[in-house]
Amino acid sequence: MSRFDYPRSKRLLTARDFKTVFDGVVAKAGTPELLLLATPSASSSPRIGFIVGKKAVKLAVDRNRIKRHFREQFRLASNLPNIDIIVMAKKGAGELPPEVLSKQSAKLLRKIAQRVASNQAKS
């Protein structure tokens, strides 16, 4: 059961962590409502952080739902390389139905992992 946990070591917590990703973006994946940015991680496991602002998603319930869906997909993804990922919500993300949000989160995480792997293979 510990294989599917979500400890602090798998989260981007500090402003420095976020700045590192923003400064060194290697791969992007997105939809009109969501954007994922990724960079290779210095840590021993993949990490994820969220920017879901009140300006883009008005209701706290919707902001939390977006984060919950991505955390769950991230937690279950076993094929992620050691990368740091930032999930950014845009206007309209709060209106996505739960089924669509689940599918998009899984698809975007897969896509970002593939793009980072292909960028590392080119280097």
Q: What is the pLDDT of residue 79?
A: 80
Could you tell me if 21 and 56 are in contact, meaning their C-beta atoms sit under 8 angstroms apart? no
Residue-level length of the chain: 123
**In CATH terms, is domain 2-122 a member of 3.40.50.450?**
no
Half-sphere exposure of 49 (CA within 13 A, CB side): 20
Note the pTM of the prediction, 2 decimals. Answer: 0.91
> What mean pLDDT do residues 9-31 have?
93
Residue 22, CA distances (Å) to 27, 32, 36, 59 in order: 11, 19, 11, 26
pLDDT bin (cut points 50, 70, 90) of residue 44 is confident
